[in-house]
Homo-oligomer: A and B are copies of this chain.
């Protein structure tokens, strides 16, 4: 397997509205997406675009803001420990999700649940932080030119 792009880092927040204000007003972000619900994962998410090395906004690694959705959201536990929020996961792109899944399985890494559709509309899965040097790691198939 070849290390892909760091598509985004996932950051938990008690309030997407407050986080978006923080990124826009304090950090100077110019592009943030509308928040949307991912009920299957018990979260509401929104993305902050950053520039790449050429200054092109939207081509850099994104910040995924994650707020709990519903009472059973897995994010509540994170916020109990970190009431202000904080870094939650990293997400790397791969060319082929099935190939990547086999690769990590072959390495004896624990995969958390089935491959499913992620926030960018492409298939994703998560790897157990205890098998990934302490980092909850999302693997996602690279979105194609049409945004998927």
Chain A residues with CB under 8 Å of chain B are 1-6, 9, 11-13, 18-19, 22-23, 26-30, 48, 50-53, 55, 59-61, 63, 82, 84-87, 90, 92, 104, 107, 109, 129-130, 132-135
Question: How many copies of the shown chain assemble into the complex?
Answer: 2
* Chain B proximity of A30: nearest CB distance (Å): 7
* Chain B proximity of A116: nearest CB distance (Å): 21
Classify the secondary structure of A's interface with B.
loop
Nearest to A24 among chain B residues (CB) is B3
CA–CA, A48 to B51, complex, Å?
Answer: 19
List residues of chain B with CB within 8 A of the CB of A12: 134
**Given contact pairs A3-B50, A87-B134, a sample of 13 additional A-B residue pairs in the complex whose CB atoms are under 8 Å apart:** A1-B26, A1-B27, A2-B30, A3-B27, A3-B28, A5-B51, A52-B59, A82-B134, A84-B129, A85-B133, A85-B135, A86-B133, A86-B135
B86 and A26 form a contact (CB under 8 A): no
List residues of chain B with CB within 8 A of the CB of A90: 9, 87
* Chain B proximity of A10: nearest CB distance (Å): 10
List residues of chain B with CB within 8 A of the CB of A28: 1-3
Instruction: List 23 A-B residue pairs with CB atoms under 8 Å apart, sorted by A's residue number.
Output: A1-B27, A2-B28, A3-B23, A3-B27, A3-B29, A4-B50, A5-B52, A6-B50, A11-B133, A11-B134, A13-B134, A26-B109, A27-B92, A52-B53, A52-B59, A53-B59, A61-B61, A84-B134, A85-B134, A86-B133, A86-B135, A87-B87, A87-B134
